[in-house]
Amino acid sequence: MTIKDIFDTMDYGPAPEASGDALAWLVDQGSRFGHFIGGSFTDPTDDFDSKNPANGNTLASLSQATQSDIDAAVAAARKAQPSWARDGHKRARVLYAIARLLQKHSRLFAVLETLDNGKPIRESRDIDVPLAQRHFYYHAGIAQLMKDELPDRGALGVCGQIIPWNFPLLMLAWKVAPALAMGNTVVLKPAEYTSLTALLFADICRDAGVPKGVVNIVTGDGAVGEMLVGAPVDKIAFTGSTSVGRKIREATAGRGIPLTLELGGKSPYIVFDDADLDSAIEGLVDAIWFNQGQVCCAGSRLLVQEGIADRFYDKLRARMATLRVGDPLDKSIDVGAVVDPVQLQTIRSMVDSNTSGEVYHAPGALPENGFYYPPTLITGLAPSDPLMQEEIFGPVLAATTFRTPGEAVEVANNTRYGLAATVWTENINLALDIAPKLATGVVWVNATNLFDAAAGFGGVRESGFGREGGWEGLQAYTKPKGKRAALKPVTPFTGDGQPTDLDRTCKLYIGGKQARPDGGYSRNIYGPRGALLGQAPIANRKDIRNAVEAAASAAKSWGKTTGHLRAQILYYMAENLSARATEFAARINDQVGGRSGDKEVDAAINSLFTWAAWADKHDGRAKGVPIRGVALAMNEPVGTIGVLCPDAHPLLGLIASTAPAIAMGNAVVAVGSHAYPLSALDFTQVLETSDLPGGVLNVLTGAPAELSKTMANHLNVDAVWSFTSEDVSAGIEAASAGNLKRTWVETTARDWTTPDAQAFLPQATEVKTIWVPYGE
Amino acid sequence: MTQTIDTLTTPTQLPQAVEPRNPGMELDLDWALGVQANTSAIERRAKTLPGRRSVKKDYQAAWLAKAITLIDLTTLSGDDTKGRVRRLCAKARQPVRSSLLEAIGLPGLTTGAVCVYHDMVETAVEALHGTGIPVAAVSTGFPAGLSPLHLRLMEIEESVKAGAEEIDIVISRRHVLTQNWQALYDEMKQMRAACGDAHVKAILATGELGTLRNVARASLICMMAGADFIKTSTGKEPVNATLPVSLVMIRAIREFHERTGYRVGYKPAGGISKAKDALVYLSLIKEELGDRWLQPDLFRFGASSLLGDIERQLEHHVTGAYSAGYRHAIG
């Protein structure tokens, strides 16, 4: 082509980013890599190759970690951890140095990322690498402030971290920066397709003065991940597929280590008829064709208001025609290569097996070599079509229509996932009404895929749990300071005494009504001297089912009530309990023995006051994100929470473990103290007189072992908390993998007379980040 | 959309020469007032565009050469004289040293037009005689557009009589700011009529319209009233052409074309002085409107100092050495 020819056609032509420096770095390392353990690289064992998905060329040969590598890495991290945790300012200096070095070597990181992953150089250069830098800057500040701002929190210890191949460096930053800031040390496993920038990161850790053993990087496939999950670490953080997340949940069950999972999604992208359509189209480019659609929060489900759908689809098809697919190192490429032929095949077979709707592939030839899939739009799908439900993880957009805002929410929430959502409307009333109704961890208003270290990111439902970024992200890498004693088993008294009074019938309390147990069984409850105090119903799985149904239904409206109203009701419960204090105290003494009943009733009233007080005070935050706009961190109720109450305190146990959940707008299915169940059942009479809507608190009694499993298994329960002294935690954690509900199992003794807002409030809420850019 | 025109052999760059001229249409307020412009989303698109498209080497040279053919080489100063205007016209005829044009294989390149005040039209027409380069006049009480309407219309007629083939009019910003859309439409329509066969560029003075939504509405209404081109600025407002404003205006042009089938041209003016900026604008047009708009009948830069930077870049392309301003003839 002569200049004259180009002058006539006005084509773009090639604009390749030079890859020489990145390739030279690989050669300097011998094009072979071992693991980074204890501050140096191990001898390479050449087990597998890392390839450039744009052309299939081998970039380097990598090592598959063995059990002894994992052991060595964990040991190195363990050894380094205590001194690393000692001085926040020193950590801040190191994290700052890492941020600076990421800046100084920004192009090297970007080019290496694109070579290894296939994403367009524009994205690695303008998005991934700057966001990674920002994460380290932000957390340098967090390390600096930890002592003053989080005085009661301490490091967890050694964190095992497993990251995916779609944002190799950025996910590393999201994992490593907060962990290090909080004084943890890490063993990180990058995805086997994309380990190179992690290894380059290891290299710069040495220049940044990261002490030996603080950062360890082991490479390999899923088997290495499994070994890391099985290693004696104090925390597992995983980003990746929901199926692997589920396995990790099962594998870590009962080990008493915290877990965060950031998993898949099928995020809705909602366009209302008053939206700036051209801008919404451009947003879609950044939603589903960003990183070839290989983004956990990709806006992969397009929901368009019916009246504008045809016009919107026309505009969208026209826009798709100008997307440039090709060599990711070319600066003018919008869509690069899919990471691996396996992934490409998955995308192909999912789209090919679809028989509904209209499939539109963007025109334009794909490169002959390398792994490419054309940007694709499938319109006319219904929520029941598999492509509207299953995550494709490719450049494929599935579209359907809706009629009203209410229907938009219904369709949007009709999914097992709950990671992110996008809403386009020029109407602030509509936007701010819809955002809280979407069952996701992130909502973008008139924008999409905005990220920042200050703003939490993470999902609900099967998109996982835990947040990354912001103050809320630090929960995942800290624990309360101080040691607590192990929880002692509390066994029911036995006896053969006579009833002391007229028979009192205690029933289960489900949906605001007294209910006989489904199974029709009860058991005798004896006092410490063997007196027969009464009978407690034995709930079975059907009672759990009924209670969850009542709770899930109540949660919908309870979660939308004002904190002020919830506070009033909790105070009123306290008032009504206070009026019957003597009776409740006597009943406690009868069951437990001694004369602590008065104190326990006082503590219960105090607890109700505390959580009533919090009901309207657990404020969200407005995050200082680097855009003209605001990122709101809103504390939303989790939904339906199953609670296995502590056994030692018949009344306080029920109240102190459920009131925080109720105060935050959740509905609760509580299993009262197994040893002393009668006070919980008596308390339902107070509930009946206290205006608490039916279903908000359901009270069951029965065997924790059986009931906890049913609750943890139940796909409509959003979280399970266990404070019982029975040995149920492993079973709960394992069973929770079904819908990846949040679990909180305590096996240490808690002082229930002192309400612990720091522990309960985060457990009782989900932080939703709502991004609202503005400007006219 | 991939149709190309050999502009070097096209005798004139007026839109009516190749495209059916936009006849205008009834004022459709439902349409105009229904447009939305989300400022932060538009700014994001504008901000990321330079990072999404890059033109290098021969391609860059070709694009810069194209940019030259799209320039309305402009002088709009109180101290303009005949001599000054003749000098500018000479530059329009020979915008780049001929050895450089030979080297890139594009001899005979000229700018798109020369743009002057009414009083200088005759001089410019004379100076450009036989070149095919049209003369554009800024009429209608430029730049404020606050002289009596009948005088503004007369000024257009005078300019056309004097030989201007393109008329850059300014709209009454107050009609936009007070939402008097009918008045805006009527005024534009009268001006278009006054232009006769000369083609009319409507200057919206976007820096004074307050919001992007207003820019979008004013763009549509001027096109409904028969504008051949819509143009950002007089160059005298505090803020002139910007990428976000351009995005709004060319999206309006795209929509107007989709609905009516008529192509209206676009002219960003003021503040575009670097070759790099010109490339970004061209890629913006290519992306949002398509290649057809990358021709002088549908796109112009209103610029005075842009050409100098392009000349330096072209010399760098030819010689491999960075250039100096004094090596290139002034206009």
Q: pLDDT, tens digit, for every residue of A308-333?
A: 999 999 999 999 999 999 999 999 99
Say if A564 is an interface residue toward chain B (CB within 8 Å): no
Minimal Cα–Cα distance from A284 to chain B, Å?
A: 12
CB A539, CB A506: distance < 8 Å:
no
| Residue A13, Ramachandran bin (φ over 0: left; ψ between -120 and 50: alpha; else beta) | left
DSSP A211-271: PTTTEEE---SHHHHHHHHHSS-SEEEEES-HHHHHHHHHHHTTS---EEEE----EEEEE
Across the interface, whether the CB atoms of A776 and B282 are under 8 A apart is answered: no
pLDDT of residue B10: 44
Backbone angles phi, psi at A509, to 5 degrees: -125, 105
A221-232 pLDDT tens trace: 999 999 999 999
Question: Who's near A275: CB < 8 A, 6+ residues apart?
Answer: A424, A425, A426, A446, B36, B38
Joined tokens for residue A315: 């505009």
CB A135, CB A163: distance < 8 Å:
no
DSSP A446-461: S--S---TTS-B--SG
Distances (CA, A) of A630 to A89, A443, A448: 29, 12, 14
Total number of residues shown for chain B:
331
Q: With beta carbons under 8 A apart, name residues in chain B contacting A313.
A: none
Listed residue (A179, A144, A138, A177) closest to A453, CA to CA: A138
Across the interface, whether the CB atoms of A627 and B45 are under 8 A apart is answered: no
Strands (E), A485-531: 508-510, 513-515, 522-526
Residue B17 — pLDDT band, cuts 50, 70, 90?
Answer: low
SS3 call for B297 = coil
**Residues of B labelled as active-site residues:** 168, 231, 267
Say if A331 is an interface residue toward chain B (CB within 8 Å): yes
- Minimal Cα distance from B58: which residue of A? A3
What is the signed CA dihedral for B259, B263, B267, B268, rounded to 10 degrees?
40
Q: Which helix (H) or strand (E) holds A123?
A: helix A121-123
Q: What is the C-alpha separation between A92 and A98, in angstroms, rounded?
A: 10
Type of residue numbered B91: K
Percent of chain A at pLDDT > 90 equals: 98
Joined tokens for residue A259: 């877990």
Q: What is the C-alpha separation between B171 and B218, in angstroms, rounded?
A: 9
- By CB atoms closer than 10 A (0-12, 13-18, 19+), residue A32 is middle
- By CB atoms closer than 10 A (0-12, 13-18, 19+), residue A86 is exposed
The DSSP letter of residue A1 is: -
Q: What is the C-alpha separation between B249 and B206, in angstroms, rounded?
A: 10
- Minimal Cα distance from A627: which residue of B? B40
Joined tokens for residue A607: 């607890």
Across the interface, whether the CB atoms of A279 and B41 are under 8 A apart is answered: yes
Which of A3, A280, A282 shows the shortest C-beta gap to B104? A3
Best probe of the A interface among B10, B40, B253, by most A CBs < 10 A, is B40
Q: What is the C-alpha separation between A761 and B20, in angstroms, rounded?
A: 68
Distances (CA, A) of A313 to A202, A391, B317: 46, 21, 42
B318 has pLDDT over 70: yes
**Beta-sheet strand order (sheet of A742-745):** A513-515, A508-510, A697-700, A667-671, A640-644, A719-722, A742-745
Alpha-carbon radius of gyration of chain A: 28
Q: State the ipTM, two decimals.
A: 0.95
Q: Please report, for chain B, the start and end positions of each structural domain, with discontinuous segments joined by +.
A: 22-323
pLDDT of residue B11: 43
CATH code: domain B22-323 is 3.20.20.70
Q: What is the C-alpha separation between A615 and A607, in angstroms, rounded?
A: 12
User: 């101080």: which residue's tokens?
Assistant: A482
Distances (CA, A) of B212 to A273, A694, B33, B215: 19, 51, 12, 5
Q: What is the C-alpha separation between B314 and B328, in angstroms, rounded?
A: 11
CB A194, CB A167: distance < 8 Å:
no
Say if B137 is an interface residue toward chain A (CB within 8 Å): no
Which of A2, A275, A775 shows the shortest C-beta gap to B39? A775
Say if B57 is an interface residue toward chain A (CB within 8 Å): yes
Which of B54, B58, B61 shows the shortest C-beta gap to A331? B54
- Minimal Cα distance from B34: which residue of A? A274
| Residue A685, Ramachandran bin (φ over 0: left; ψ between -120 and 50: alpha; else beta) | alpha
Say if B9 is an interface residue toward chain A (CB within 8 Å): no
Q: What is the C-alpha separation between B132 and B147, in angstroms, rounded?
A: 32
Across the interface, whether the CB atoms of A13 and B4 are under 8 A apart is answered: no
For chain B, the average pLDDT equals 94
What is the number of H-type helices and E-type strands within chain B?
14, 8
Q: Rounded to the nearest 5 degrees, what angle is found at the Cα of A292, between the Cα atoms of A347 and B251?
A: 125
Question: Who's near B291: CB < 8 A, 6+ residues apart?
Answer: A9, A10, B1, B2, B3, B4
- By CB atoms closer than 10 A (0-12, 13-18, 19+), residue A392 is buried
Helix spans in chain B (H): 15-18, 29-34, 39-52, 57-69, 82-93, 98-103, 121-127, 149-161, 173-177, 181-195, 212-224, 243-260, 275-288, 306-319
Q: Rounded to the nearest 5 degrees, what angle is found at the Cα of A340, between the Cα atoms of A338 and A346?
A: 80
pLDDT of residue A503: 85
Question: Who's near A149: CB < 8 A, 6+ residues apart?
Answer: none
Q: What is the C-alpha separation between A347 and A360, in angstroms, rounded?
A: 15
Say if B58 is an interface residue toward chain A (CB within 8 Å): yes
Minimal Cα–Cα distance from A275 to chain B, Å?
A: 7
Q: What is the C-alpha separation between A446 and A776, in angstroms, rounded?
A: 13
Residue B18 — pLDDT band, cuts 50, 70, 90?
Answer: confident
CB A594, CB A730: distance < 8 Å:
no
- Minimal Cα distance from B69: which residue of A? A7
CB A57, CB A23: distance < 8 Å:
no
What is the signed CA dihedral for A557, A563, A565, A567, rounded to 10 degrees?
130
What is the signed CA dihedral for A386, A389, A393, A394, rounded to 10 degrees?
50
The DSSP letter of residue B289 is: T
Joined tokens for residue A480: 């309360």
Backbone angles phi, psi at B127, to 5 degrees: -65, -25
Alpha-carbon radius of gyration of chain B: 19
Listed residue (A268, A254, A356, A349) closest to A304, CA to CA: A268
Q: What is the C-alpha separation between B133 and B123, in angstroms, rounded?
A: 13
Listed residue (A142, A149, A116) closest to A19, CA to CA: A116
The residue ranges of chain A whose pLDDT is under 50 are none
B4 has pLDDT over 70: no
Percent of chain B at pLDDT > 70 equals: 95
Percent of chain A at pLDDT > 70 equals: 100
What is the number of H-type helices and E-type strands within chain A?
26, 31
B311 has pLDDT over 90: yes
Q: Read off the pLDDT of each residue in B24-33 and give the average, rounded to a whole number.
A: 98
**Of the residues A17, A123, A159, A296, which is catalytic?**
A296
User: 């439409």: which residue's tokens?
Assistant: B185
Distances (CA, A) of B225 to B16, B26, B218, B265: 16, 7, 10, 14
Q: What is the C-alpha separation between B159 and B153, in angstroms, rounded?
A: 10
Residues 87-116 of B with CB under 8 A from A: 104-106
B9 has pLDDT over 70: no
Across the interface, whether the CB atoms of B44 and A274 are under 8 A apart is answered: no
Q: Which helix (H) or strand (E) holds A100?
A: helix A88-104
